[in-house]
Structure 1
Amino acid sequence: MAGDATAGRSATPPCCFLLILLCCCLRLAPNNAEELQRFNHPTKPDGSLSFLVVGDWGRRGLFNQSQVASQMGRIGEQLDIDFVISTGDNFYDNGLTGEDDPEFEESFTKVYTAQSLQKQWYSVLGNHDYRGDAEAQLSPVLRQTDWRWLCLRSFIVNAELAEIFFVDTTPFVRSYFTDSKGHTYDWRAIKSRKAYIREAIEDLESALTESIASWKIVVGHHSIRSIGHHGDTEELVKLLLPVLQANSVDFYMNGHDHCLEHISDKDSSIQFLTSGAGSKAWRGDIKDVNRKDLRFFYDGQGFMSVQLSQADAEIVFYNVFGEALRTLNASKGLHQSI
């Protein structure tokens, strides 16, 4: 029997082993275009899309979070929104302690109670989220607690006329690794910062290149351009911005600076939109950079609405009272504020 088994193995041509090995390698090798998880979200029957954008909010309703949430509910009903985007720093000051942290319900479920906000929330992580159990926010367990919640590191929402690319920007920032200022960060999933950033850029670039959507929107927590407290994020200017410019991205939406803001890109049609005013704001400090490209800045609480059709976009900034502060009207190939 032993002899028969040996004979059977030796009878297999060496090329077959190589073919099997090659197939295994191809199956295991990551395909960058497929690594980003995709979620399909239909448009309205008329082909339009509307959603709200809010960031830096999770404070158990304090610092006007509840007031902002109330106005989001009112505007959300008027616009019949399809979903909500959170630009990160979802739970202050140090993220969640775990999947069973009561702050999830106290800062999310019990605050955003309006009927119009009972839609899917697509969220990214911010630097404050990484100070806690970042894995908890990504866990399906939270989706069982509140079905609206969907938070991943990087992913894509395919909403037919628009593709929205969510990017995990916190690992891009070197100072969180080298000068944590007494804070601890949950880097369990970031084995190599350089490799993580490289793969994130490759995944995004591949997905953007393949996109045929009318509108391309990229969402991250950190600003690329800002005159607010934090200002520009140098790593994103160097590594992420060229990819957006090369792939005709229309809007980059972020939080991080606790304000509402619109800055144009001097080298492309990209519009930088900050919506990080979901709770604590009024920083009171403004940087001198980007002043000539600044279109709007509000140092206070609020949120942003986005309405899209195949050819046109209308983006409105609202304050804590639900008053429209600024409107950006954009058409394909032309961006202008009124």
Structure 2
Amino acid sequence: MEKLVVLLALLPCVFMKTLWDPLKDDPPSLRFAVIGDWGGLPLPPYNTKQELMVAAELANTVAKWGADFIVSVGDNFYYDGVKDVKDYRFQKTFENVFDGESLQNVPWYVVAGNHDHNGNVSAQIAYTNVSSRWIYPDLYYDLSFKIPSTNVSVRLLMLDTIVLCGNSDDHVGGQPLGAANPKLAEEQLDWLIKKLESSKDDYLLVAGHYPVWSIAEHGPTSCLLKHLEPLLKKYKVTAYLCGHDHNMQYLQDDRGIGYVLSGAGNFMEHSRRHKDEVPEGYLRFYQGDQETMGAFAYVRITPTAMNVTYIQSGGKSLFQTSLYPRSL
């Protein structure tokens, strides 16, 4: 026994102290994962190895740390969405993949991506009435939470950035082509402004598919830089959650707004082609290496901080950062 103790003492330390330890006494918190671009393939087996590995790690993380919900930031079904509410892709790409025991009672709050809009988004909305954990009440909607045992409030505004900016062709430039229905785009923008104006919440989050800022293959979304970014700054939004680029990025602007890009649910693309279009100092973290086999962001909000951890398949923590309650 003494030899064993000495041997263990001589082993190199392989554990790093993280920003928070979920296994120790913890203040009340709201916890969720952000996952994007996880939508499998349109051919058998209707998923990818990366999607399966991300789903397994998501289940492991939720079992270990807990989660109140999942935020799905679009491209739920590659490459052309679903046809109707009975489409087999709901089972083959979602239900049968994210099937870990710890995920069974965790609600998924969903928005659509550009590939979803190639199909029938109304069918994805209608699937809310079929699945107990798929929650997609409308193209854009408002969620409000309280951190348990506190009066600290968290508001999450779920946007449809394709309705707002138009669809995009990944093979032709990648930028949205302009709103297909300008009236619907204007209605969504008006709705968003009213929600932002009225929010007195301690944490205010906005989620959509397209990124505001990105160094990767699609780059910053010009439409969102014009219409959304000024609103995020004006109303002191805590963070913007998105996907679209198939990697993991964390950016933070000069106002302290966090940009959480989580688009590595199904593919991984190592691209920095638009790095010169992002202001210097904004990019704090980037991971696009294929050997990571996908990742997602895990968010824990307490009364004093919003902690963001990027977790790759297999459980390695890639990056952690913290944001803080709004000062109104």
TM-score calculated relative to the size of structure 1? 0.77
Deviations for 1:28-55, whole angstroms, at most 9, x for unmatched residues?
xxxxxxxxxxxxxxxxx96420001100
Does the alignment pair 1:145 with 2:103? no
Distance in 1 separating the partners of 2:205 and 2:92: 30
Task: Give the number of equivalent residue pairs.
Answer: 279
Does the alignment pair 1:313 with 2:313? no
Within-5 A mapping of 1:117-266: 117-118=103-104, 119-139=106-126, 142-151=127-136, 152-160=138-146, 161-174=153-166, 176=168, 193-266=181-254
Distance in 1 separating the partners of 2:323 and 2:164: 30
SS of equivalent to 1:292: coil
**Which amino acid is 2:51 matched to?**
Q
Distance in 1 separating the partners of 2:306 and 2:206: 15
> What is the CA distance between 1:112 and its match in structure 2?
0.5
Match of 2:35 in 1: 54
**Which amino acid is 1:83 matched to?**
F
Distance in 1 separating the partners of 2:252 and 2:92: 37
Match of 1:325 in 2: 318
Does the alignment pair 1:281 with 2:293? no
8 Å CA contact 1:54–1:304 kept in 2: the answer is: yes
Match of 1:67 in 2: 53
Question: Which structure has more helix as a fraction of its residues?
Answer: 1
Distance in 2 separating the partners of 1:122 and 1:75: 18
8 Å CA contact 2:215–2:271 kept in 1: the answer is: no
8 Å CA contact 1:214–1:311 kept in 2: the answer is: no
Match of 1:14 in 2: none
CA distance 1:134–1:180, shift in 2 (3 Å): farther
**Which amino acid is 2:232 matched to?**
L
Within-5 A mapping of 1:1-80: 47-59=28-40, 60-80=46-66
Distance in 2 separating the partners of 1:72 and 1:145: 23
Does the alignment pair 1:97 with 2:83? yes
Match of 1:13 in 2: none
> What is the CA distance between 1:79 and its match in structure 2?
1.5
Deviations for 1:100-149, whole angstroms, at most 9, x for unmatched residues?
1101111100001112222110010000000011111111xx23432111
Distance in 1 separating the partners of 2:201 and 2:221: 27
**Which amino acid is 1:171 matched to?**
V
Displaced runs of 4+ in structure 1, greater than 4 A?
174-177
Distance in 2 separating the partners of 1:255 and 1:153: 17
Match of 1:32 in 2: none
Distance in 1 separating the partners of 2:28 and 2:193: 27
Distance in 1 separating the partners of 2:129 and 2:205: 28
> What is the CA distance between 1:150 and its match in structure 2?
1.3
**Which amino acid is 2:306 matched to?**
A
* Residue identity (%): 28
8 Å CA contact 1:262–1:295 kept in 2: the answer is: yes
> What is the CA distance between 1:323 and its match in structure 2?
0.6
Match of 1:25 in 2: none
Does the alignment pair 1:299 with 2:297? no
8 Å CA contact 2:203–2:326 kept in 1: the answer is: no
Gapped regions of structure 2 (runs ≥ 5): 1-25, 41-45, 147-152, 173-178
CA distance 1:231–1:63, shift in 2 (3 Å): farther
**Which amino acid is 1:293 matched to?**
Y
Distance in 2 separating the partners of 1:313 and 1:331: 6
CA distance 1:180–1:229, shift in 2 (3 Å): closer
CA distance 1:306–1:135, shift in 2 (3 Å): same
**Which amino acid is 1:330 matched to?**
L
